[in-house]
Structure formats: C-alpha cells, structure tokens
Structure 1
C-alpha cells in the first residue's frame, strides 16, 4: 500500500456535543436511503407501473450508496473530512428535490441513485468517531453513533409511512430536503476538522483498497458476513409492505410502524458496542448471526400473524445490527491510518449485499410471495453461519484498545 506515514497529529477531543451532532446527523442522513421502502406501493400506483419496477427505486438507492462509499468515502483519508462533508451535502439536497419532483418512474430511479451516492456521509462520521474516541472506549462511542444510524434506518420507515399516507410520497422528500439544510448548517458550524493521514494520489488511494482486501483476512470475513446479513435485512424490509397490503389490507403507515418495533432491537444492539470492548467479537458475532436465522423461521410461520411479525422484526433487527457493530469493532482495530478505506471496503460489500437482497426479494415476491422471501432469508442465514464458523480464528480478536 502506498502511503507516506505522517507524524502523529493531535486531533480534537470527542466532546459530548460533537458526539451527539455526529449521532443525530448519521441517523437523519441515512434515513434518506430508506424513506422510499414503505412508499413503493404508492409510487407504483402513481406511475402506473409494477411493484418490481417500483422496487428498482429502492435497489438503485442502495447501489448509489455503495457507489458513493466506494469512490467518495476513501477521500476522507486524503482530504479534510468536514470540508468533504460540506461539499457532499449540496448534492444530497439537490437529489432530494429532484426525487420529490420526479415526473416519471425512470427519473425517480436515476434521482434515487444520486441520492444514495451523496448520502454516504454517515460512512465518514462513524470512522471519524473511532478516530476521535479514546482507545479504551472506542467500541462504546462507535455504538452510540451506530445507535443513531440504526434508529435512523428504522424510524425513517415510520416517518415516511405516515407522511406518505396523509400527504403523499412526494412530501416525504421535500421534508427531508429541509432537514438536510439544517444539518448542513450544524455540520459546518460545530463539527471539528480532522486532518488527513494519507499522502499520495487518488489513483493510489483507490488501489490501496485492493491491497487492504488482500492483506486483511478479518476484513474479508467481516465484509462477507455483513453483506449476507444485510441481504437478509433488505429482503424483509423491502417486501413487508407488500405482505401487509396483501394479507392484512394495511397501507404504508402500518408498514412504517414496524420501524418503531425494529427500533427496540436496534437499541438493544447498541449495547453490543460496550460488550465489544470487553469480549471476543468473533464469539459475539456467532450468537448474533443465530438471531437472524431464528427471525426468518418465525417469519415463515407468521404470514398471517401481526404478533409473529412483530416478534420476528425485533429478533431480526437485533441480530443484524448487533452483528454490524461487532464487525466494525473488529475492522477498526486493523490499520488506524486507513480507517476510512477499511470502512469503505466493508460498507460497499454491506450495501451491495443489501441491493442483492432487495433484488431477490422483489423478484421472488412476484413468483413465490412471502414463503419465497422467507426461504431466501433462511438460506442466506445458514450460509452466513457456515462461513462464520468455518473461519474460526485460532487467536482471539484483539481488544479495541490494543
């Protein structure tokens, strides 16, 4: 990897105010990626298209997010991080406005791609929190910021479901544009600047991603594990709105309410950040991966049971999000000077997995309905567990303060 080690730089303290701004911003920005999921039924009706075509809005949003992380997030190791965020914010606002005004489904799909690509800022904030935190409490601080991200993912569906039900799906994206303008100001005024550690060209910076993948087996395992888990997560959350409409005659508002249920799982998962400071993250991941498998077993018997779906949502979200935090606790110990690039490799894999899960779920729904989605989730969960236990490290994972 071509880097020039620079002298250790004194970086700002991670104050309580800074941590809360990062946490709130992470949750509200990542919400942009999920507003459309409870609205797919309404979007399909607006443009007189199929559910499969409407599902491309969600797919391209996630592909865009992965693209933004791949080509923009590594720059945070090379340029000033706050400056990069302030520039990218302009594209978030513009993309939201175009999304809200989209005259056709194809324009909406394209705008959704750029919305996803520009909403990669949380993947600058999480490594930034790891960078600013004291080593002995890094897992705890990552857990706080990740708690904001996870709750943003889940509550975004609740908010968009309600707004979409009563004001139309376009109102969701106009409201999001206003929120982003406020956040833009907060980031510019209150977030500290972090100087880059990487000295070299953008071409070499991107080439170093391949080197990291080759040199870090723990990164490869975490990336594959994360991709498969998020494929399960996305398969469920993309199709739940179709199930609720078909079996319960419920609209987008009720689909969004399931985000409130999932938030309980996310809050519980946030505690894993503290646990990852104290115990072996590999063993912790084995337990959390089992939760995902259990959730889809519950789902396959709950196609006509709201209570069963609620229980399954809590178990699924707890398993997926806790595994995610455990994965990040592992990868952020590897190369401190390359945290943004390491996070890029992991998160690009993560969201590409989500895109595949969404694609499979929307296509399987057309042919096999809910059982097809659940069988996909069970299959992916079993594959993930096999990969995890087949790669049992001989040495224990280093603690975060190593």
Structure 2
C-alpha cells in the first residue's frame, strides 16, 4: 500500500486542524482571565493542562495506532475532540473549563496518528519529503492557531473559536472516513502488551531517547516564548488582539522548515543539521531577550525559533521512523510524549518566571532549554566516531 498524492494535502490539513486545538488559548489568556475573574498566572494553567492532556493522550491513546485500524481510531478520536471543544465553549466555571481543556488535549492526538501513517504509506526513498509535507500542515496548524484565534476572538469573543473548531472536527472526521485507506496494524497481543512494549522501545533505542530529549528541550523553548509573548505584546507594546494575530502570522513562516528539513534528512545530512537547529534556537532566545523593545526583533526571533524547532522535529522523525517499521506509532508515543511533557513543564515554569521576572525570565528559560539540547547533541556526536567519519566523508 502506497500513499496517493491526493491524500497528502488531506493528511496535512487534518494534522494542522487537530493540533491547532492545543494552541488556540495562548493569545487569549488575558481575555480568559478577565472572563473568569482569575489572575494571568492562573490563566496560564490552561496552556499547561492542555499540554498535559495531550501528553496523556500520546502515552495512552497513540500506541493504539499499532493495534486498532487507523481510520476508525482517527474518526472516533475526532468525535471526542468535537465534544470536548463544545463543552469548553459553553462551560460557565473556570475549573470546568480547565477540565475540558485537558480533554481537548487528550483527544487531539489524531495528528500524531496520521504522521506515522503517512510514513507507513510513503516509499522509503521519499519518506522524509512526504513526512515533511504532512508535518508542514501540522506546523502551520500550530503557528496559525494563534492568529486565527486572535482574529476570531476580536470579532465574536474568545469562546467562538471553540465552537468553530468543534464543527471543523466533525467535518474532518467525515472526510477522513470517506477518503483514507483502511490500515490494520500487525500487532495483536493486546493493549497491556502494547503499553509495555512502548517502555521496551524506549530502553532499547538510544537514538530514540536522544532525539526525544533534544526535541523536548527545543519544544520547551518554543513553549516559553509563545506562552509569554502575548503578555509582552499587550503590556509593553500596547498591541490589540488583531495586532497580536498579525504578529503570530509572522511566526507561520517557520513552517517552511518542514519540507526543507525532510529533503535534508533524505540526503543524509539530518544529524549535522540538527545541531544547527539547536544552536539557532538558543541564539534566538537570547535575541528575543536583548531586543524586546522592538516588535520587529521579537518577530524575527519568533519565526527563526519556530523554524529551528520544526526543522529539528522533521529530521528527528525521519531518523526514528526508520528504527522499527512495525512500531512507528509506539516510537512516536515515546517521542511526542517526551516532547509535550517538556512543553507542559516549560509552560508552567514560564508562568512562574514571567510573574517574577517578566519577559526576561521567559527568555532565559527558553535559552537554557535550547542550550541544554545542544549539549546533548554535542555529547552524542562526540561519543559516536562512526557518525564523525560519516560527516568527514
């Protein structure tokens, strides 16, 4: 079974629309705090809990991609996401909104089921390019979510984006059910065995652990920047929601990294280029702190930080999906659970640091995350003479 070219845009769109649910709240935290009568620090918990929910979904639901027929699993999860979004849109109390935010995160793992699905369908020689294109849609969803939610909230209030996304999830479920080919995985040992094998994979594959750790740290830098940026733009630069939407739109340029990174990985340069992505992210965190008085500098730092994070993710997935063709959903479970756990921790720390030290505190956290990832990469390169010879050749 091979991927039909017409399916690639659908898979990219599906990934983008589902993963966007994790990010709609980021530019709306000030509005959410005012609506529910809570502090800005308390509102930041929305981002943290949504990412914790997503990490739980990755850990508990994503492995089902190696057990349950993928098309059926995908459409059922989309139905759950639509219900969670609708409940969040109508709930009257902040604790309930937080609970439904967790459910939104748990059920939004569809994107991470579809990415290894695309890798399974792709010819080996084109896997990086095809995964890169699908990831491009996912990354556009991440980066455009903030713009869309800001514009929508400016027109109809912050709850409107939850109603709209719920409707989109239903439409998407119908489209995927009609157009995706069925895929029945080969694993038949049962759910408990499946979860145990996730841990076994993590222990058995050092490349998977390294890639997960580096990407998790990069995503921590990404989360620190985008969790705090709305407060900086409103408080220090006086931007409106519509202006914040335009600012977030600039960050969508980072999605261009996905297809470029896929081609680099297909040509065998992914290991070296990953170090460059980590170094770029660390430099952009420092630039964002030093140039915070200029919206243009903040925008440049944001788009290049996004570019680095997304490029590193595509190159990482190219490497880890080649480890075990029969276990790509479980490999993705280890990888993405690590990534979003780091993101949730970073979001929580960002709330604390921003409350005490402002924008500088968030940028220092981002720089520390990216620099630690670069050190992990450097140590792994130093300990691998075979890779060094490959680069020299």
Query: Does the alignment reach a TM-score above 0.5?
Result: yes
Query: Matched residues in 1 for 2:309 and 2:189: separation?
Result: 36
Q: What is the alpha-carbon root mean square deviation over aligned residues?
A: 1.3
Aligned length: 387
Deviation at 1:251, TM superposition (A): 2.8
Give matches, 1:195-274, under 5 Å.
195-274=184-263
Q: Which of 294, 302, 327 is matched with 1:338 structurally? A: 327
Q: Is the 8 A contact 1:269 1:319 kept in 2?
A: no
Query: Matched residues in 1 for 2:362 and 2:22: separation?
Result: 21
Q: Is the 8 A contact 2:261 2:270 kept in 1?
A: no
Q: Is the 8 A contact 1:241 1:251 kept in 2?
A: no
1:294 counterpart residue number: 283
Query: Matched residues in 2 for 1:226 and 1:153: separation?
Result: 16
Residue 248 of structure 1 aligns to a residue whose secondary structure is: coil
Unaligned runs of 5+ in 2: none
Give matches, 1:43-54, under 5 Å.
43-54=32-43
Instruction: Kindly provide the CA deviation profile for residues 14-52 of structure 1, in whole angstroms up to 9, marking residues without a partner as x.
Output: 011211111111111111110010100000000110111
Residue 334 of structure 1 aligns to a residue whose secondary structure is: coil
Query: Matched residues in 2 for 1:391 and 1:355: separation?
Result: 26
Point out 4+ residue stretches in structure 1 off by more than 3 angstroms.
Answer: none
1:395 counterpart residue number: 386
Answering whether residue 132 of structure 2 is matched by residue 143 of structure 1, we say yes
2:315 counterpart residue number: 326
Query: Matched residues in 2 for 1:268 and 1:330: separation?
Result: 16
Deviation at 1:259, TM superposition (A): 2.6
Q: Is the 8 A contact 2:278 2:373 kept in 1?
A: yes
Query: Matched residues in 1 for 2:379 and 2:128: separation?
Result: 26
Query: Matched residues in 1 for 2:161 and 2:75: separation?
Result: 23
1:6 counterpart residue number: none
Query: Matched residues in 2 for 1:272 and 1:164: separation?
Result: 34
Answering whether residue 175 of structure 2 is matched by residue 186 of structure 1, we say yes
TM-score for both structures, normalised by structure 2: 0.96
Query: Matched residues in 2 for 1:281 and 1:268: separation?
Result: 13
Deviation at 1:166, TM superposition (A): 2.1
Query: Matched residues in 2 for 1:86 and 1:310: separation?
Result: 37
**Structure 1 residues 26-35 or 265-274, which shifts more?**
265-274
Deviation at 1:343, TM superposition (A): 0.4
Query: Matched residues in 1 for 2:5 and 2:174: separation?
Result: 19
TM-score for both structures, normalised by structure 1: 0.94
Give matches, 1:2-401, under 5 Å.
11=1, 13-392=2-381, 393-396=384-387
Query: Matched residues in 2 for 1:251 and 1:339: separation?
Result: 43
Deviation at 1:304, TM superposition (A): 1.4
Query: Matched residues in 2 for 1:289 and 1:58: separation?
Result: 24
Q: Which structure dedicates a bigger proportion of its chain to helix?
A: 2
**Structure 1 residues 133-142 or 378-387, which shifts more?**
378-387
**Structure 1 residues 110-119 or 197-206, which shifts more?**
197-206
Residue 268 of structure 2 aligns to a residue whose secondary structure is: coil
Deviation at 1:394, TM superposition (A): 2.9
Residue 16 of structure 1 aligns to a residue whose secondary structure is: coil
Instruction: Kindly provide the CA deviation profile for residues 125-166 of structure 1, in whole angstroms up to 9, marking residues without a partner as x.
Output: 000000000000000000000000000000010000011122
Instruction: Kindly provide the CA deviation profile for residues 334-383 of structure 1, in whole angstroms up to 9, marking residues without a partner as x.
Output: 00000000000000000011101111111111000011111111111211
Q: Is the 8 A contact 1:27 1:149 kept in 2?
A: yes
Residue 376 of structure 1 aligns to a residue whose secondary structure is: helix
Instruction: Kindly provide the CA deviation profile for residues 306-350 of structure 1, in whole angstroms up to 9, marking residues without a partner as x.
Output: 111111012101111101111111100100000000000000000
Q: Is the 8 A contact 1:290 1:385 kept in 2?
A: yes
